[in-house]
């Protein structure tokens, strides 16, 4: 037997084995974005079918979020800024298998609220990522957020003991803490909007966007939530010694969401109708005129976003 053909056969066998070794990785790398894209497309179509807000969701690239499922103990969900990673409780996955999200119609209203809360964090993360990668003006929502961070969330009132709403302390937050406080305050409002919409529109054809009984009830609930200081966020203390005491510091009612922030969230993020927006801002602005809110921004900062 000739040595040359034998060498050819050995080389060919090596190439085949090498190819087989690399094939699984190649297949997985192509499958992951495809799976994420299909999952995102399904989520958008289901949200639209249920009449849920999709305006800000459409701004997130289809494969931007890396969804994971785990047996979470402390929180129902977690979003890791910068990593673009959303960790959801395994109970939210289809058949509890931890592979893909259950259909939105089979989630409880509280679970959809949690999901939208985390999706909003992903939206802000996507805006910040795009601003860092592209040499252009940041998205107007991100620009507005940065302004609000400086003039509303660097000096806040907190409720040291959540159950004692009347007791407050003033805190001067770090850059990370103030950004965290803003993000959580806004995400709380986004989740609140979605949960109340689901609670009030259980029958086909009902909508909070149109004037009528359903919208009246939604506005009534907003008035109560604002009066009780429910529309407030929290932040994770940066000081390790303080984190030993608590993982979250809740803002006091006086540092709750402002009407200017609500304008941007309802109009530019959630896509609220003009009628619902006008009525809602009237509710929130009324309490500010009575001096019930801590921390204000100059009018020049907000003039470009107030309708």
Structure confidence at residue 133 as a pLDDT band (50, 70, 90): confident
The share of the chain scoring above pLDDT 70, in percent, equals 80
pTM (2 d.p.): 0.84
- Distance (Å, whole) CA 109 – CA 115: 10
Kindly state the average pLDDT of the residues 9-28. Answer: 38
Kindly state the average pLDDT of the residues 131-145. Answer: 88
- Distance (Å, whole) CA 96 – CA 91: 5
Cβ proximity of 250 and 169 under 8 Å? no
Which 3 state secondary structure label does DSSP give 299? helix
39-53, 78-92, 292-306: the lowest-pLDDT one: 292-306
Kindly state the average pLDDT of the residues 23-33. Answer: 43
b/e code 39-78 from CB counts within 10 Å (16+ = b) = bbeebbebbeebbbbbebbeebeeebbebebeeeeeebbb
One-character DSSP codes across 24-77 = HHHHHHHHHHHHHHHHHHHHHHHHHHTT---TTGGGS-TTS-EEEEE--SS-SE
Closest CA to 262 of 306, 300, 228, 301: 306
Structure confidence at residue 93 as a pLDDT band (50, 70, 90): confident
Closest CA to 201 of 218, 189, 188: 218
Structure confidence at residue 210 as a pLDDT band (50, 70, 90): very high
Burial of 9 (0-12, 13-18, 19+ CB in 10 A): exposed
Burial of 217 (0-12, 13-18, 19+ CB in 10 A): middle
Choice between 132 and 120, residue whose per-residue pLDDT is larger: 120
Q: Within a 10 A sphere around the Cβ of 80, how many other Cβ atoms?
A: 14
Range list for CATH 3.30.2010 in the chain:
53-138
- Distance (Å, whole) CA 259 – CA 180: 19
> In the beta sheet, which residues pair with residue 87?
68, 78
Average pLDDT in the chain: 83
What is the model's pLDDT at position 65? 92
Cβ proximity of 126 and 64 under 8 Å? yes
Structure confidence by residue, pLDDT tens digits, 95-123: 777 778 899 999 999 999 999 999 999 99
Q: Which residue has the tokens 């009984």?
A: 213
Kindly state the average pLDDT of the residues 121-146. Answer: 91
Choice between 38 and 227, residue whose per-residue pLDDT is larger: 227
Dihedral over alpha carbons 25, 28, 29, 35 (to 10 degrees): 180
Structure confidence at residue 237 as a pLDDT band (50, 70, 90): very high
Structure confidence at residue 125 as a pLDDT band (50, 70, 90): very high
What is the model's pLDDT at position 150? 95
Residue 242, CA atoms < 13 Å, CB-side half-sphere: 11
Structure confidence by residue, pLDDT tens digits, 172-199: 999 999 999 999 999 999 999 999 999 9
Beta strands in 155-271 (DSSP E): 155-158, 169-172, 234-235, 249-250
Burial of 82 (0-12, 13-18, 19+ CB in 10 A): exposed
At the top level of CATH, the class of 53-138 is alpha beta
Structure confidence at residue 209 as a pLDDT band (50, 70, 90): very high
Which 3 state secondary structure label does DSSP give 234? strand
Choice between 147 and 35, residue whose per-residue pLDDT is larger: 147
Task: Find the DSSP H helices in 156-212.
Answer: 175-200
What is the model's pLDDT at position 129? 93
127's tokens: 């805006």
């Amino acid at each position: 037997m000739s040595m040359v053909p034998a060498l050819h056969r050995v080389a060919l066998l090596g190439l085949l084995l090498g190819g087989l070794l690399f094939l699984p990785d190649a297949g997985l790398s192509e499958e992951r974005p495809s799976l994420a894209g299909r999952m995102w497309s399904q989520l958008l179509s289901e949200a639209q079918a249920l009449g849920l807000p999709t305006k800000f969701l459409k701004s997130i690239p289809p494969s931007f979020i890396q969804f994971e499922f785990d047996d979470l103990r402390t929180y129902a969900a977690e979003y890791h800024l910068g990593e673009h990673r959303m960790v959801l409780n395994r109970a939210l996955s289809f058949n509890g298998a931890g592979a893909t999200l259950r259909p939105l119609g089979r989630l409880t209203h509280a679970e959809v609220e949690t999901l939208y809360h985390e999706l909003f964090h992903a939206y802000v993360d996507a805006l910040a990522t795009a601003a860092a990668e592209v040499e252009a003006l940041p998205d107007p929502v991100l620009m507005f957020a940065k302004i609000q961070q400086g003039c509303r969330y660097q000096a806040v009132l907190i409720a040291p003991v959540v159950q004692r709403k009347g007791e407050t302390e003033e805190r001067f937050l770090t850059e990370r803490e103030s950004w965290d406080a803003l993000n959580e305050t806004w995400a709380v409002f986004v989740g609140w909007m979605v949960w109340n919409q689901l609670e009030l529109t259980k029958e086909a054809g009902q909508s909070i966007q149109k004037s009528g009984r359903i919208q009246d009830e939604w506005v009534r609930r907003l008035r109560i939530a604002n009066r009780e200081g429910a529309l407030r966020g929290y932040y994770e203390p940066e000081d390790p010694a303080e984190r030993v005491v608590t993982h979250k510091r809740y803002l006091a009612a006086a540092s709750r969401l402002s009407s200017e922030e609500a304008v941007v969230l309802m109009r530019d993020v959630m896509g609220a109708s003009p009628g619902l927006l006008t009525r809602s801002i009237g509710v929130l602005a009324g309490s500010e005129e009575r001096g019930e809110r801590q921390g204000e921004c100059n009018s020049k900062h907000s003039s470009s976003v107030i309708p």
